[in-house]
């Protein structure tokens, strides 16, 4: 780890430790202000005077949410926050110093939060308008309350120390519930945190060990390209991607620990909680005094690590990776984009833009749909109807190709620049891209042949049925 990573981890651990204190504060106003003060302190420690970006963007975004008409405030907040994200990343073009790397994640999470409030406010406003026309439309107290959200509340939400460094993304409603409900007093905060800390320790150990033997920097040296074989270079994507995953798992799991130690995001299981979105069923009647069931922290779970590692397909893996951010993209971009034909592409473009402007982000994120299309096609051709031993073998093969694809694309994400990416891909003769094209061509031909056979079979059955009916009529 470099010194910035060490400082970042120390800050995350400090936030985890602070949770035990914050959770026990009885006064909601005092708890809210202390949480915000801790968040501002963390931002300043990580980014120094560059933290002014966070304050400026928060004020501009909050103004868009508050002062633009509710029917359009989601578009205004989205434009302001994603526009400022571009300015933030191009700061050097405007004569400002380049912000340190870790403040980028802070700015990214803040962008989702404030733009998310705009989408929440517009969505609730539309429900309120529909209720005026149709009394059967269900609305909640929250739908009315969010219409009067003010600058100070958005500021508290944006700078709450819980999630300020690495996420997870959570809705404004989840933030409000933390101060208005007492679920955190009854949820298994200590046990859940300790369990996740053990996992974070394992991921961090694997990251440090892997990075010692297979550092990414080695893939940038002349020795790697001049003295290593084609097979060695191609296979190097495997340890590189494993190290990348362990690093991400460590950060995301520690960020979850910040939430669980504070009791943030705790809900009764019966509330049917979704990652990032919070409860989907009424839950205010489930008071801790009478509720005797279990509690869950599903609302703040970033990644289902074991599902990511075990599931056989890329499509399924994406459902378990960075779930809270995917929830934001699905609800605010995918479902709301007017054209069904282009909504997937637009959602991926927004995701790539949110991650950054570097070529590696687009090589990785925009290459994924191409592989998923291939995977879906071959799943229908050979895996979907397979059973028994054949299905198990195919699951292993699909799992292997899933991680090969992820490793290949993930290496581009890590190499960042076009020159480095092209040098590496050229050194392995663009193997995966060539293989995907071959699989695409073969799969497309096979699919057309199968459809043609099914049509012929269906036509024969229809002709047979017609002849049978004619024979019956002639008799």
The model's pTM is 0.91
Q: From the DSSP assignment, how many helices (H) and strands (E) are in the chain?
A: 21, 4
Contact (Cβ atoms closer than 8 angstroms) between residue 416 and residue 422? no
Q: Tell me the per-residue pLDDT of 236-283, one tens digit each, with 9 for 90 and over.
A: 999 999 999 999 999 999 999 999 999 999 999 999 999 999 999 988
Q: Tell me the per-residue pLDDT of 422-461, one tens digit each, with 9 for 90 and over.
A: 999 999 999 999 999 999 999 999 999 999 998 888 888 8
* Residues contacting 151, CB < 8 A, separation 6+: 59, 62, 63, 66
DSSP code, position 276: T
**How confident is residue 284, by pLDDT bands cut at 50, 70 and 90?**
confident
Provide long-range contacts, Cβ within 8 A and 24+ apart, for 205-211.
Answer: 206/242, 206/246, 207/243, 207/246, 207/247, 207/250, 208/1, 210/239, 210/242, 210/243, 210/246, 211/243
pLDDT of residue 137: 76
CB atoms within 10 A of CB 365: 19
Q: Tell me the per-residue pLDDT of 300-313, one tens digit each, with 9 for 90 and over.
A: 998 999 999 999 99
What percent of the chain has a predicted confidence (pLDDT) above 70? 99
Q: What are residue 278's DSSP bridge partners?
A: 274
Rounded Cα distance, 62 and 104, in Å = 19
pLDDT of residue 225: 95
For the annotated catalytic residues, the residue numbers are 322, 355
Chain centroid, CA 423 distance in Å: 29
Rounded Cα distance, 389 and 395, in Å = 10
Contact (Cβ atoms closer than 8 angstroms) between residue 400 and residue 235? no
Q: What are φ and ψ of residue 291, in 5° steps? A: -75, 125
Instruction: Please identify which residue in the block is written with the tokens 């494993």.
Output: 242
- Which position has the higher pLDDT, 79 or 2? 79
Contact (Cβ atoms closer than 8 angstroms) between residue 252 and residue 300? no
């Amino acid at each position: 780890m470099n010194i910035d990573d060490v400082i970042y981890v120390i800050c995350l651990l400090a936030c985890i430790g602070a949770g035990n204190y914050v959770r026990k504060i009885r006064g909601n106003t005092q708890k809210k202000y202390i949480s915000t003060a801790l968040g501002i302190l963390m931002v300043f420690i990580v980014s120094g005077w560059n933290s002014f970006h966070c304050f400026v963007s928060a004020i501009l975004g909050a103004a868009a949410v508050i002062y633009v008409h509710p029917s359009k405030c989601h578009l205004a907040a989205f434009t302001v926050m994603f526009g400022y994200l571009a300015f933030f990343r191009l700061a050097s073009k405007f004569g400002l110093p380049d912000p340190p790397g870790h403040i980028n994640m802070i700015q990214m999470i803040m962008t989702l939060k404030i733009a998310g409030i705009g989408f929440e406010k517009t969505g609730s406003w539309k429900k309120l308008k529909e209720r005026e026309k149709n009394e059967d439309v269900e609305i909640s107290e929250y739908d009315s309350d969010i219409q009067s959200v003010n600058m100070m509340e958005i500021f508290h939400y944006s700078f709450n120390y819980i999630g300020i460094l690495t996420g997870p993304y959570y809705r404004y409603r989840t933030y409000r519930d933390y101060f208005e409900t007492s679920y955190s007093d009854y949820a298994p905060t200590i046990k859940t945190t300790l369990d996740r800390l053990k996992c974070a320790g394992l991921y961090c150990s694997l990251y440090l060990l892997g990075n010692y033997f297979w550092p990414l920097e080695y893939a940038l040296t002349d020795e790697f390209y001049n003295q290593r074989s084609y097979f060695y270079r191609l296979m190097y994507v495997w340890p590189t991607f494993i190290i990348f995953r362990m690093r991400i798992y460590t950060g995301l799991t520690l960020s979850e620990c910040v939430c669980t130690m504070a009791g943030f995001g705790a809900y009764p299981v019966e509330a049917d909680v979704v990652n990032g979105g919070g409860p989907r069923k009424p839950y205010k009647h489930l008071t801790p005094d009478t509720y005797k069931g279990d509690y869950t922290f599903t609302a703040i779970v970033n990644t289902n690590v074991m599902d990511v590692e075990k599931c056989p397909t890329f499509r399924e893996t994406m459902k378990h990776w960075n779930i809270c951010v995917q929830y934001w993209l699905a609800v605010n971009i995918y479902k709301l984009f007017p054209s069904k034909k282009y909504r997937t592409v637009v959602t991926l473009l927004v995701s790539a833009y949110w991650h950054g402007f570097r070529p590696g982000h687009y090589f990785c994120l925009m290459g994924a749909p191409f592989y998923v299309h291939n995977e879906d096609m071959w799943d229908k051709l050979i895996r979907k109807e397979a059973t028994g031993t054949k299905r198990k073998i195919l699951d292993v093969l699909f799992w292997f190709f899933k991680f090969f694809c992820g490793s290949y694309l993930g290496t581009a994400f890590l190499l960042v620049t076009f020159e480095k990416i092209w040098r590496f891909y050229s050194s392995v003769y663009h193997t995966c891209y060539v293989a995907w094209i071959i699989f695409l061509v073969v799969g497309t031909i096979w699919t057309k042949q199968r459809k043609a056979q099914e049509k012929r079979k269906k036509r024969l059955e229809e002709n047979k049925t017609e002849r049978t009916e004619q024979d019956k009529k002639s008799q």
